[in-house]
Structure 1
Amino acid sequence: MQASNPAAGSHGGAAARPARPMRALRSGGIGIAAAVTCLVLAACAAKPLVPYSADTPPLALVPASQAGVQDKRARFREIYCAVLEAHGSALADYRRCEDALTRVGVEPAGTGMPVDLGQSRRHLVAVVVPGVGYDCFKPWLNAPGTVTKHLQPFGYDAIMLTVDGLSSSANNARQIRDAILAMQLPAGAPQLVLIGYSKGAPDILEALVDYPEIRGRVAAVVSAAGAIGGSPLANDAEQFQADMLRYFPGSTCTSGDGGAVQSLRPATRRAWMAQNPLPGGLRYYSLATFPQPERISSILKSSYEKLARVDARNDSQVIFYDQVVPGSALLGYVNADHWALAVPIARTHTMIGSLFVTQNAYPREALTEAVLRFVEEDLATPGK
């Protein structure tokens, strides 16, 4: 799931560092990024955040028992652990299973069923929709495409859709529609698993609601650290701050329709969910990021602490319950911050990783394989 969303960060902590690391930061092309990450979702804004009041929780993003969410963490843990164990240290950024997922509350016991690690029968394709600003810093990131390379020998595949990084969810929904309809797909059962990372998740939901012609091509939808309920950080941000990403080194992105920040505000997302029931007949899954505090990169600590004024159970950008699609199957809570889930900064920019994006290592290849294996198994389960 190598997509990206530089939603927020901090230049405050970086400024206190010695001059040499700061020069390294600038020479690596992230001097601008360090300032911009502080701005995109207002980690450095002056206005304080306030907790959600008891009578106005994020719509549908309350505890699973109140949102019709099915708790499938036990089976997903079994599949993910089997994938990690099968690949072991051959994986980049390998972690033990207990360190890869966070246990939250009472997690159901495992099923004990065997895990099929063979060839995919359905040949599912992960179609990743990235978050805010990805097209702005994609050239600089220069992601190695290791997720796709990892999946293909098992009969899966992965592609990333191009959407406007600084546009609204409505604008990007149309782009998602156009891309899906342009795909040459084999006849038979739908293969596409739409994976929305950060803002990419509400972009996908709007596409499914607004363009019913694409639904027959979609096997499932996954929110991966998705901003389903938005982020309180967006309440303090303005679009001109996000537009600074246009000056990222190598960027050729445009401002689009200028609606990215508005689309991420909780009030916007709540209103949209209230007015747009999700289409039936599709499978929805949620994979939330819920890191242990020591798993948050130093550059993201400021936004984590600011968001903690609302709820400390956040990944530095989004609160854990704001990542859950109502009525979905909850796969698990990933022990990684918002960037670590999908943005391989430390792999392609090692100095920046060692100085600032200090907890960016995560076995994304194994995680994506586990998601597709879970979805394939779940789609084949009779009576669902």
Structure 2
Amino acid sequence: MLSHSLGPVFLFVTLLPIVAEARHSQEGEQEQKQKTGYEVSGDKQWLDTGLDIKAGDTLRFTASGTLKYPGAKETGPDGLARNWWDLLRTLPLNDAKRGALLGRIGDSRSSRPFLIGTGRESKAITSGRLYLGVNQTQKDKSWGAYQVLVEILQRAQETQPVDESTLPRLAQEILDSIPTRVQDPDGNPGDRVNFLVIGTEQKLKRALQAGGWTIVNRTAKDAVIQGAISVLSRAAYTQLPMSELMLFGRAQDYGFAQADPVVVVASRHHFRIWKAPFTADGQTVWVGAGTHDVGFDRDQRTGGITHKIDPDTDKEREFIGKTLEESGEVAKTYYMTPANPVTEAKTAHGQEYRSDGRVLIVILTADREDVSQAFSNLFCSVLREINPDGGEWGDCAQYLETPSAESVELPPIPDKYRILIVPGLMNTCFAGVWAYKEGQEYLRSKYGLVVDLLPVPNDSCEDNAELIAEFLKRSQKEDSRKFIVLGYSKGAPDTQAALAQDRQAASSVAAFISVAGAIGGSPVADVMPRLTESWIKQYRLPGCEGDLSKGLKSLTQLNRRAFLAKYPEPVVPTYSIPAISDQAGTSKLLMQTWQILSAFSKWHDGQLTRLDAVVAGSKYLGSALADHFAVAMPFETSEESIKSGADKNHYPRTALLESLIRYVIGDLEAKK
């Protein structure tokens, strides 16, 4: 470690190789398990470790040490909380804290850094050279060092080449039917269509998120709301609204961008993308138009100020393709040329651009994690044939986004597993209104299942994780059957933390189900304290246990993403079912946060966006068409005063619970 008497210096990195050791597998094949140590203590922002990583390699990072910035307190590898001025810094990873330890695989401009902090264990999603670095600007000065141990726990097995005969094919006539350029609302032609992606919406979003892309506001109003939330949460705001352009008779379905604070005003990689009104061999086709903003220009139509783009639009096409390839979600890329290629043209505001006229075709890997069709078939069969909730429910399509395609057999549920339900925030505030209250009793009486509810206080995810872990270990001594744990709302990240941080507790769990789980945190976590206080007063809820402020703080996106960076891989087989609701299907109780979240996503439940409610690496069961409370909380059958605010609470929750248990047990048994 450098002496403070030397004054502030730029951070540099030296390599201290430690050891590489070999072991033999039971089959006699030799595997390399490398352990190499590095000291991050110098004047380079990035260190070349000399380690070449393959996609699928399992890596473990362990870090310690401290850094000291002028005018700031000492920090460890997790980094310093960002203050108001610090939000304007251009950091390599804006979702992470200043001074946090980062990793990166590859050295191209499309290579994205990832958070290491004090520790991380995960599989590499791309191949390339491993670099270590610090989340700081090139002008930042600091003293001190981080000691980093990098372990390659397991090398990836050789993968078989993709069988191209199984991939969807895009016919030339389909490409030729796509307009070669998008239009502004007045019909003026603009950017050229320069790439297509073939794959499911969930797979597309995962690939783009892994590639560092974020969804961009469509309106100035949305930008103002997001900016205000970012200020409240002290999160770096990296978006500006993207104007609406037209293709297939409508504005873009999504806008995505990569940018940094301050620089975002003048420079950003961005594209618009539309879901095509046709498919390729039955798979969804997404049509995109991307450009790279490099400054400002004068709009030749209005004389106003607009963004200036790099006239070589092929560079942005290649950049988009490279970021997708490095996500690990791409099966194949190739080029096609439309019958009437655009090689020279002007944008809608009059700026010239050029291209070779080719369109990049990106085929995503098969989405084997999307089992929404099979789950919908099961749920609709349960609702129609068994109807555990009683009463009339009408068309099953009202309750799940994915329509049912066929009926399935419904044998009795075996009692091989125990069920544990971990409810969400404020669960202790609603006396007698437990998550899946009727469903719990139904599973006990109908199928003889052991179903436990573990009410947890309104404390942090880490505090509640300890309570959950202790319950699991204690219960395992009494009954050797493993648990299927269902975490609802905040109960999902509470359970995630328990399984990740206590492997003994995890050994007692066969599977984990996240229902409307706050996996990625919520953009509204920082405005919730005032809202929950108003609920407590308005609906007379004096019995709340724990510290709501701690519980809500642990649900901020910054905190949840830091956890996911440290524990990115599911510990046990995991399943996700988010909820989504439109304005008409959302209770009065949630309307305020529903309106706020609408600035972030079109798909949310009034508390969480769908993207933040899906566990990476889990099986996606589809989306429940309900607001955040209706999917689990039986307010409509309670005597609580809050019932009046939950006026859109009618949902077949018991059928959903039975279907979740049936599906997971069937999936677990099929793997044996």
TM-score of the superposed pair, with normalisation by structure 1: 0.74
Distance 1:46 1:271 in 2: 20
Task: Give the CA deviation at 1:158.
Answer: 2.4
Distance 1:121 1:267 in 2: 41
Residue 298 and residue 251 in structure 1: after superposition, are their counterparts in 2 closer, same or farther (change >3 A)?
closer
Amino acid at match of 2:504: E
Task: Give the CA deviation at 1:291.
Answer: 2.2
Residue 52 and residue 225 in structure 1: after superposition, are their counterparts in 2 closer, same or farther (change >3 A)?
farther
Residue 291 and residue 270 in structure 1: after superposition, are their counterparts in 2 closer, same or farther (change >3 A)?
same
Of 445, 462, 467, the match for 1:175: 467
Rg larger in 1 or in 2?
Answer: 2
Task: Give the CA deviation at 1:99.
Answer: 0.8
Matched, 1:382 2:671: yes
Of 59, 68, 73, the match for 2:372: 73
1:1-384 alignment, distance < 5 Å: 48-49=228-229, 53=239, 54-55=257-258, 70-88=369-387, 91=390, 94-103=393-402, 110=405, 114-115=408-409, 117-139=410-432, 141=433, 145-152=437-444, 153-164=446-457, 166-183=458-475, 185-187=478-480, 190-238=481-529, 242=532, 249=540, 251-256=542-547, 258-280=549-571, 282-349=572-639, 353=643, 355-382=644-671
Instruction: Give RMSD over aligned pairs.
Output: 3.3
Greater fraction of residues in strand: 2
The answer (yes or no) to whether the contact 1:69–1:330 under 8 Å persists in 2 is no
The answer (yes or no) to whether the contact 2:436–2:654 under 8 Å persists in 1 is no
Amino acid at match of 1:261: L
Distance 2:365 2:628 in 1: 25
Residue 380 and residue 101 in structure 1: after superposition, are their counterparts in 2 closer, same or farther (change >3 A)?
same
Residue 333 and residue 339 in structure 1: after superposition, are their counterparts in 2 closer, same or farther (change >3 A)?
same
Greater fraction of residues in helix: 1
Residue 157 and residue 94 in structure 1: after superposition, are their counterparts in 2 closer, same or farther (change >3 A)?
farther
The answer (yes or no) to whether the contact 1:137–1:245 under 8 Å persists in 2 is no
Give deviations 1:314-354, integer Å, cap 9, x for gaps. Answer: 1000001110000000011101100101111111138864x
Residue 296 and residue 381 in structure 1: after superposition, are their counterparts in 2 closer, same or farther (change >3 A)?
same
Distance 2:427 2:387 in 1: 30
- Which 10-residue stretch deviates more, 167-176 or 85-94? 85-94
Structure 2, unmatched stretches of 5+, are: 1-224, 231-236, 240-256, 260-326, 330-363
Distance 1:52 1:83 in 2: 45
Amino acid at match of 1:48: A
Distance 1:322 1:308 in 2: 14
Q: Match of 1:380, SS?
A: helix
Give deviations 1:286-322, integer Å, cap 9, x for gaps. Answer: 0110124322113322211111011121100000111
Amino acid at match of 2:375: F
- Which 10-residue stretch deviates more, 81-90 or 247-256? 247-256
TM-score of the superposed pair, with normalisation by structure 2: 0.44
Give the match for residue 282 of structure 2. none
**Equivalent residues, number:** 320
Residue 168 and residue 306 in structure 1: after superposition, are their counterparts in 2 closer, same or farther (change >3 A)?
same
Give deviations 1:355-378, integer Å, cap 9, x for gaps. Answer: 532210111111000000000110
Structure 1, unmatched stretches of 5+, are: 1-44, 57-61
Percent sequence identity over matched residues? Answer: 28
The answer (yes or no) to whether the contact 2:389–2:655 under 8 Å persists in 1 is no
